[in-house]
Amino acid sequence: MRATIVALILALVALPAAAGLVRGQADCGGSCAETVVYLEGAGSKTAEEDASVVFDQKDKVFIPHLLPVLQGTTVQITNGDPFLHNVHVYRGKETVLNIALPFQGQVIPYTFSEPGIYAVSCDAHPEMSAFIAVLESPYFTIPGEDGTYELTEVPPGEYTVVVHDVKKGAMARSQVVVD
């Protein structure tokens, strides 16, 4: 019995402290579809080696339209359509990746190691466009249609909340303290 109580006390001491919550409402100027909210000052972090997300091309649309990822994440670029697509990724005016995906179900993994906003297009279908936001901070989200956002498990500290419209390049910044 005594050993069980000691083990229980040690387990409780080892539990991490409750993490903070950052909530707000971004002014997205009408649509938040191209807006990402993230924290600066949380230190830079790289994704775990096996971190992976899917970026699909389906019905001539990139899904999702805006994909925020932590730097070092491998993006599984997929062709979900039964016809040729390609993925042309730019950082500014520089081509980072330009690869054809001629077959449905084809997957090309690409690891984004440099932070920044990447524009994505399909040269075969010029109406297709999307963005990948590669971030140093592990605390990020896309706000809801009404601009509301929530970042969870934020450690105590003082941070800058950045609201970034990836298409316009516009940013708003505000300070927040997490207890």
Is residue 177 a contact partner of residue 161, using CB atoms and an 8 Å limit?
no
Three-class SS state of 20 = strand
Structural domains in the chain? 19-42+147-179 (no CATH), 44-136 (2.60.40.420)
For residue 50, what pLDDT band results from cuts at 50, 70 and 90?
confident
Which sign does the torsion angle of CA 79, 81, 85, 88 carry? negative
Q: Give pLDDT, residue 81.
A: 97
- Higher per-residue pLDDT: 56 or 46: 56
- pLDDT tens-place string over residues 101-129: 999 999 999 999 999 999 999 999 999 99
Q: How far apart are CA 113 and CA 130, in angstroms?
A: 19
What pTM does this model have? Answer: 0.85
| CA–CA dist 54, 5 (Å, integer) | 46
Q: How many CB atoms lie within 10 A of CB 103?
A: 13
Is residue 49 pLDDT above 80, yes or no?
A: no
